[in-house]
Amino acid sequence: MTEKIIKTIKTQLIERKKDLEKELAQFTSKNVHIKDDFSADFPEFGDKEDENAAEVATFSDNLSLEQTLEKSLRDVNAALTRIEKGAYGTCKYCGEEIEEKRLVARPVSSACVKCKEKKLSQI
Ligand SMILES: [Zn+2]
């Protein structure tokens, strides 16, 4: 893993982080007490019964979207932290280097393919 590749990956991760935060900002409020925690806003369409039903449906969609985006954001932040600490690209289970191909394809990876497969077979 060369400096150059890590730099490229870092740039991608920062872009991804910005995108995720922008997306989250559209329908959530940031929790000021917990880092990287967001709460979906309850939408306001009107007071009619069908409008109320649409509000509930949209809110429930937003909740699951919020969780997906939040998880991605956490993964991105964790990867950025590993880069800062100089620990990027090392498998969290076996300590071996993660294949470069894998990191380029999925920069938030924190485990090598072998350990990932082992983990998956245990489930
Ligand atoms: Zn491993």
34 Cα–ligand 1 center, Å: 31
Q: Taking a C-beta distance cutoff of 8 angstroms, is the pair 87, 1 a contact?
A: no
| pLDDT computed for residue 59 by the predictor | 97
Angle of CA points 73, 77, 79, to nearest 5°: 120
2 Cα–ligand 1 center, Å: 19
Each residue's pLDDT tens digit, 43-60: 999 999 999 999 999 999
CA distance 68 to 110: 18
Each residue's pLDDT tens digit, 57-81: 999 999 999 999 999 999 999 999 9
CA distance 12 to 50: 42
Q: pLDDT band at 123, cuts 50/70/90?
A: low
Task: Map out the domains of the chain as residue ranges.
Answer: 3-88, 90-123
CA distance 81 to 56: 37
Neighbours of 90 (CB within 10 A): 17
Query: CA distances (Å), 103 to each of 7, 35, 78, 116, in order?
Result: 12, 26, 14, 13
3-state secondary structure of 101: helix
CA distance 93 to 41: 38
19 Cα–ligand 1 center, Å: 30
54 Cα–ligand 1 center, Å: 46
Tokens representing 33 are 């007490």
Q: pLDDT band at 35, cuts 50/70/90?
A: confident
